[in-house]
Structure 1
Amino acid sequence: MVTQQDRFIRIISGIVLSVGSILFLLPFVWMILSSFKPEAEIVQIPPTLWPEKFSLDNFKYLFENMNFGVYLRNTLIIVLFSYVGLFFNAMAGFGFAKYKFKGKDFLFVLVLATMMIPSQVTMIPVYLILNSFGLTNTMIGIILPGLVGAFAIFLFRQFMSTIPTELLEATRLDGASEYRTFLQIVLPISKPILAVQAILTFIAGWNSFLWPLIIANDEGLYTLSVGLSLLKGQYTGNYGLQMAGAAFMVVPVIVLFTYFQKHIIENFTISGLK
């Protein structure tokens, strides 16, 4: 039975959480709204939260004068090939989870051991290898090192280990090939982990900064994160442009996370009911 004291505690907790969430969201809302303001309105005293007049001049300037269209294209290419790598990671995880072959455990431990090596340590050797193949300052050189990852393989392997082997054997007895079993049985069952990896893969590709900056010296190969860094260096006092660039970087990640979060919860609920 819920007592009056419990109700009071719930009300107080709700008020505290509501105030905290408003304080947490306020800087983000300020950034989004300020990206639509002219520079004079951003720096005026007293400040205004809602723009007196919405303007897209900051975004137009980014794409017309700062090559953000090129940066966006390069970033989308990296994200696209990252999702190709996501498919490879799923295949590798399935192989480690459901196939028996000589040296499987040792190879899996070797894959996990690479997670203990900081990426900063491997950048110079990877750069030298790509340079020997003539892949520096190319889009291929930017994409290849991040195509597959030990952490993603580990997550897929751990999740796919829970798939009943009897189910896979039944599909094989029905005449399904290994590829068909993987595409039509394993991947649909693995929607929760695919959603998680889709978010992580998009964030990693969308925010790629250090490696493109190292491997490429041509501005035509820079990503949005590198372009935003250049923007901060060249237009330090132009807060409208900085707000527009930051908003353009953050909003897609939040939208994607919100969309896949719903699917993650739904799939886990369905899995729990089963």
Structure 2
Amino acid sequence: MSVTAKTRPEHRAPRPAAVRGRRSALTDRDGHSVRGWELVVRYALLLLVLALTIGPFLWQLSTSLKGPTEDIYSSPPSFLPEHPTLHNYTRVAATIPVWDYALNSLKVAAASVVTNCVGCALAGYALARLRFAGRRAATLVFLLATLVPVESIIIAQFTTMRELGLNNTLIGVVLPSCVSALNVLLMRNAFLNLPHEVEEAAYVDGANVWQRFWYIALPSVKGTLAVVAIFAFMGAWDDFLWPLIVLNDPSKFTLTIGLNYLHGTFANDQRLVAAGTIIAVAPLIVLFACLQRYFFRGVGEGAVKG
């Protein structure tokens, strides 16, 4: 008599995660599971921030392209121009010498970028890698300088420029911000996070301090240097109060001051103002587009040591 063996239950293949539980299959960049409604909330918040950030610029761009026959105050507002035109930009050039003002702003911004990149890199390297008496006190001074409002020292700055004979000059516009305390601290933190072993190896090979700075330290912080360049350019290009105080010759006005003349006492054409605004913002967009790769890399420099 044959004995029939009882068949054992077969081993079942493990079910996928979506079948085992009710957890969502969506994950974020860190590998954490994200529910559907959480993802919707995230994208809704991102779209809201995008609208608040980019919306005013797009509205100014739309207004600058609208012709004189279009109503810019219509309700509901019309975002897209019916007949796009560049006539408003030519009117800006006919109303004020906008390209001369833009050239003055470019000179000031370029000088500010060069002085900040050179001065802040040297100062940051000295504070981070060199040993000298008073190094901590100097770092504290730079830190405290970032807390001082510009408005509280602007009279002292103007008096200093007048005593030096630099008022009503573009050099007087550049000089007070040629080395920013914030940029010095950014470069210091970037240099602090470089491995000491590489620089010590160069020191053993006979490299002096200038060679270690130029060939080893500086190429390793290109991202932070790009951040400093962007901050310096934006600060000099967008500055309005200090050039307004130190300059009184219309031929030396920067673009931010010159665009103020588009506002008339008895007439105020918003199309003209919008076109001038786009002209002023365009160089910043081009600069950031060219340096964005280094900018995002520079934001991360100093966050991870080694």
CA contact (8 A) 2:119 2:179 kept: yes
Aligned counterpart in structure 1 of residue 86 of structure 2, from 56, 64, 68: 56
Q: How far apart, in 2, do the equivalents of 1:93 and 1:83 lie?
A: 16
Which residue matches 2:63?
A: 34
Q: CA deviation at 1:218?
A: 0.8
Tell me whether 1:231 sits opposite 2:262 in the alignment: yes
Tell me whether 1:136 sits opposite 2:167 in the alignment: yes
Q: CA deviation at 1:102?
A: 2.0
Shift of the 164–231 alpha-carbon distance from structure 1 to 2, 3 Å rule, reads same
Which residue matches 1:198?
A: 229
Q: How far apart, in 1, do the equivalents of 2:50 and 2:166 lie?
A: 48
Aligned counterpart in structure 1 of residue 72 of structure 2, from 43, 62, 71: 43
> 1:1-274 residue pairs with structure 2 within 5 A?
1=17, 3=23, 7-10=35-38, 12-13=40-41, 16-17=44-45, 20=48, 23-24=51-52, 25-43=54-72, 45=74, 47-86=77-116, 87-233=118-264, 236-266=267-297, 268=300
Paired letter, 1:34? T
- Per the normalisation by structure 1, the TM-score is 0.87
Number of matched pairs: 273
Q: How far apart, in 1, do the equivalents of 2:148 and 2:192 lie?
A: 26
Q: How far apart, in 2, do the equivalents of 1:246 and 1:209 lie?
A: 14
What is the RMSD computed on CA atoms of the aligned residues?
Answer: 2.8
Paired letter, 1:238? D
Q: CA deviation at 1:176?
A: 3.7
Which residue matches 2:4?
A: none
Paired letter, 1:81? A
Shift of the 213–66 alpha-carbon distance from structure 1 to 2, 3 Å rule, reads same
Paired letter, 1:54? P
Shift of the 107–49 alpha-carbon distance from structure 1 to 2, 3 Å rule, reads closer
What stretches of structure 1 of length at least 5 have no aligned partner?
Answer: none
Greater Cα shift, 53-62 or 80-89: 53-62
Q: CA deviation at 1:11?
A: 5.1
CA contact (8 A) 1:34 1:42 kept: no
Paired letter, 2:279? F
Render the CA deviation track for 1:108-159: whole Å, top value 9, x for unaligned.
Answer: 2223232332211211112112111211111111111110121111111122
Q: How far apart, in 1, do the equivalents of 2:68 and 2:218 lie?
A: 49
Q: How far apart, in 1, do the equivalents of 2:71 and 2:294 lie?
A: 38
Q: CA deviation at 1:225?
A: 1.4
Which residue matches 2:28?
A: none
Task: Give aligned-pair identity as a percent.
Answer: 30
Shift of the 107–34 alpha-carbon distance from structure 1 to 2, 3 Å rule, reads same
User: Which protein is richer in helix relative to its size?
Assistant: 1
Shift of the 155–98 alpha-carbon distance from structure 1 to 2, 3 Å rule, reads same
What stretches of structure 2 of length at least 5 have no aligned partner?
Answer: 1-16, 26-33
Q: Aligned to 2:136, what secondary structure does the other structure show? A: helix
Q: Aligned to 2:228, what secondary structure does the other structure show? A: helix
Q: CA deviation at 1:49?
A: 2.6
Q: How far apart, in 1, do the equivalents of 2:69 and 2:158 lie?
A: 45
- Greater RCO, 1 or 2 (C-alpha within 8 Å, sep 6+): 1
Shift of the 107–265 alpha-carbon distance from structure 1 to 2, 3 Å rule, reads closer
- Per the normalisation by structure 2, the TM-score is 0.78
Paired letter, 1:85? T
Paired letter, 2:108? I
